[in-house]
Structure 1
Amino acid sequence: MLKWLLDSDPALRWQVERDLAGAPPEVWTATRHKIATEGFGAQLLARQDPDGQWAGGAFFPARFEPGPDTGQPWTATTWSLNMLREWGMDPAVLRANRTAELIAENSRWEYHDLPYWDGEVDVCINAWTLANGGWLGVDVSQLAHWFPEHQMADGGWNCEWVDGSKRSSFHSTINAVKGLLAYDVATGGTDETHAARRAGEEYLLERRLLYRLSTGEQVASWVDHFAYPVRWHYSAINALEYFREAAIVDDIPPDPRLADAVERVRAARQPDGTWLQAGRLPGDMWFEVDVPAGEPSKWLTLYGTRILSWWDSAQS
């Protein structure tokens, strides 16, 4: 399986080398540098507009008109930055061509024409903007302050707060804590952002990543839908990958309340050690980055393998 995983795009291979193959830093760092010049990363960079955006828009492509059969397109600026950051692209590549400054000058949110790096009202959009801004060296400290201001009494967040929702969402909360973690890593964060992130983590941990707090029943079938790219979608594997990263950053052991979710991931492992693609969210992409539904996914196998390795090593 390791040989199969290593035969992959640099965006994936450097993580396999670092996290599974035990390669020395000079090996996986060299592979990581190739993201800008080979494969997925280079292809996505080549699609950047001269004005710093992708597809001419902030969250949606320019002139996009949704219809009953059109999924969310994944080609605009926010989604493209998300992919480059998540793949491990060196931000210096984008800083060299003034991406952040060009976006500040040319990109506005479709919601009320607000300035890009100031964010808007959607929790998930603001979380991605916070993460991408910190990654690119933008001062997004005011946006970081937005999260504790909009945190709900139960500790989480809900993108529908603007419509009056008072209860948090698994989807919104995982994206919020991921954004705050990325900001903390990029900038060191503040006491306020650390506290907000930990309260959001506690919201999910109280529910053991899977269950309703009120009834103990599984929150929904989507917790077992393991897919790549992840986008905004909550699942047990997505949540565990976050808690693995956060534990490494915070230098703490895995929380015991993750156990049920870990066993969901373990149960999805195939006899050959792979995880199957459940099927990505519909919508236009610049190009495919993983296999069709039902086939072994290298991305999900990377995530599943390192989650189980992290968890099992802490139990011994």
Structure 2
Amino acid sequence: MTIDSGVLAWLLDSDPALRWQVERDLADAPPSTWEATRARVATEGWGADLLAKQDADGQWAGGSFFPAGFFGSPESEQPGQPWVATTWVLKDLREWGLDAGALAGTAEKLAANSRWDYNDLPYWGGEVDVCINSYTLASGAWLGADVSALAEWFPAHRLADGGWNCEAEEGNSTRSSFHSTLNAARGMLAYERITGDTRHREARHGGEEYLLSRRLLYRASTGELVGPFATRFVYPNRHRYSALAALDHFRDVSLLEESPPDPRLADAVDVVRATRQPDGTWLQGAPLPGRTWFDVDVPEGQPSRWLTLIGTRVLDWWDAAH
């Protein structure tokens, strides 16, 4: 798919966190160009703004997953959750391409000062929630923390059907979740890409097969759509599953492993293609409720640069293989 020149110009007129990915993935810019833009994430725009909000102890908002003082506060009674604490900020900065050198010393500070809300566990050891552990695994590898023990947690906690579920550790489910399984696979893939450690690839492939066997969209039991979330796209999607987020992961897998797209992705590709607007953009969905440091995308119903980047590169990857 050839992107419209006007849409490309619109995408390039953006924060460095988004622009460098447009340059690399859509504009065929040479590495010298997009790497220079990527370096600006530490000093300009959203990346610099988040770096400026880091606490002296290495955390953000005084907490690991929730901000300090959240529990028992009026905010805890509101829908959603805050997205301002350490884990969420690290996830954003890593996915925006920030050079880990801009956070030199943070891994050590978090090891010394940050504890999980669950059982006061040490930060880089993770806890019992697979989604939280997946973000921690990826961010730890990125910042140079020793998260090798946490990497072993994932194959040990896979469910019998091949995936993961955040509810399983509490004994509330024995079936995998689309959300949890995708988050686990993404965290494991990031760990592998950063460290070069492929020992857990088989476990990751098992989770990916769970999603592929359901064509990224359907319940195994009834063949019905797993839920409306699968076809509703939003950025930032935080922990939420969608066909678009899953396809972006499988694109990453394909690039790392130099493998072609699995044919079972076709239904999800059709969903993404059908939601593309006539002008070549994708519209923002309903943002997840909860406090943020600042907005990084548009309100619901408006053309989203982030979703347009992701949707376009997914379709380009698929179409190039077919």
Structure-2-length-normalised TM-score = 0.96
2:263 counterpart of 1:256: yes
1:173 aligns with 2:181: yes
1:246 to 232, 242, 253: 253
Residue from 96, 117, 125 that aligns with 2:124: 117
Q: 1:188 Cα shift?
A: 1.2
Cα RMSD between the aligned structures?
A: 0.8
Tell me the amino acid that sits aligned with residue 38 of structure 1. Answer: E
Q: Give me the whole-angstrom Cα distance separating, in 2, the residues matched to 1:222 and 1:71.
A: 15
Q: Distance in 2 between matches of 1:71 and 1:20?
A: 34
User: Which residue number corresponds to residue 170 of structure 2?
Assistant: 163
* Corresponding position of 1:93: 102
Aligned identity (percent) is 66
2:125 aligned partner, one-letter code:
D
Q: 2:41–2:48: 8 Å Cα contact kept in structure 1?
A: yes
Instruction: Report Cα offsets for 1:189-229 as digits up to 9, x if no partner.
Output: 232x1111000000000000000111111111110110000
Identify the match of residue 44 of structure 2 among 38, 43, 54.
38
Instruction: Provide the C-alpha distance between the structure 1 equivalents of 2:248 and 2:287, rounded to a whole number of angstroms.
Output: 17
The match for 2:10 is 4
- CA–CA separation in structure 2 for the residues paired with 1:190 and 1:7: 38
Q: CA deviation at 1:14?
A: 0.2
Query: How far apart are the structure 2 equivalents of 1:229 and 1:255?
Result: 26
- The gaps in structure 2 that reach 5 residues or longer are 1-6
Unaligned runs of 5+ in 1: none
Name which of 278, 282, 288 aligns with 1:281.
Answer: 288
Deviations along 1:102-147, one digit per CA (max 9) or x if unpaired, are: 0111000000000000000000000000000011111101000000
Q: Determine the structure 2 residue equivalent to 1:76.
A: 85
Alignment of 1:205-224 (within 5 A): 205-224=212-231
1:59 is aligned to 65
C-alpha distance in 2, partners of 1:105/1:220?
A: 41
Shift in Å, 1:92 = 1.4
**Does the residue aligned with 1:185 lie in a helix, a strand or coil?**
helix
Q: Does 1:16 find its partner at 2:22?
A: yes
In structure 2, relative to structure 1, the CA distance for the partners of 1:224 and 1:50 (3 Å cut) is same
Instruction: For 1:154 and 1:249, locate their aligned partners in 2 and report how far apart those are by CA, in whole Å.
Output: 25
Amino acid aligned to 1:172? S
Which residue does 1:108 correspond to in 2? Answer: 115
Structure 1: which amino acid aligns with 2:185?
Answer: V
Determine if contact 2:64/2:86 at 8 Å carries over to the other structure. Answer: yes
**Aligned counterpart for 2:136 among listed residues 115, 129, 141:** 129
Partner of 1:190: 198
Q: Secondary structure at the match of 1:230?
A: coil
Summarize deviations over 1:83-115 as a string: whole Å, max 9, x none: 0000000111112xx011001110000000000
Q: How far apart in 2 are the matches of 1:190 and 1:300?
A: 30
2:70 touches 2:76 (CA, 8 Å); kept in 1? no
Instruction: Report what 2:4 is aligned to.
Output: none
User: Which letter maps to 2:188?
Assistant: L
After superposition, the C-alpha distances for 1:249-286 in whole angstroms (9 at most, x for unaligned) are 11100000000000000000000000000121010000
TM-score by length of 1: 0.98
Supply the AA of the counterpart residue of 2:98.
Answer: M
How far off is 1:68 after superposition? 3.2
In the TM superposition, residue 71 of structure 1 has moved relative to its aligned partner by 2.2
1:271 is matched with 278
Distance in 2 (CA, whole Å) between partners of 1:162 and 1:144 is 17
Question: What letter corresponds to residue 59 of structure 1 in structure 2?
Answer: F
- Count of residue correspondences: 312
Separation in 2 of the partners of 1:100 and 1:55?
A: 16
The question of 1:237 aligning with 2:249 is answered: no
Give the Cα–Cα distance (whole angstroms) in 1 for the partners of residues 198 and 314 of structure 2: 28
Distance 2:79 2:258 in 1: 43
Rounded to whole Å, the distance in 1 between the matches of 2:293 and 2:253 is 30
Distance 2:106 2:278 in 1: 44
Q: 3-state DSSP class of the match of 1:67?
A: helix
Report deviation, 1:162.
Answer: 1.7
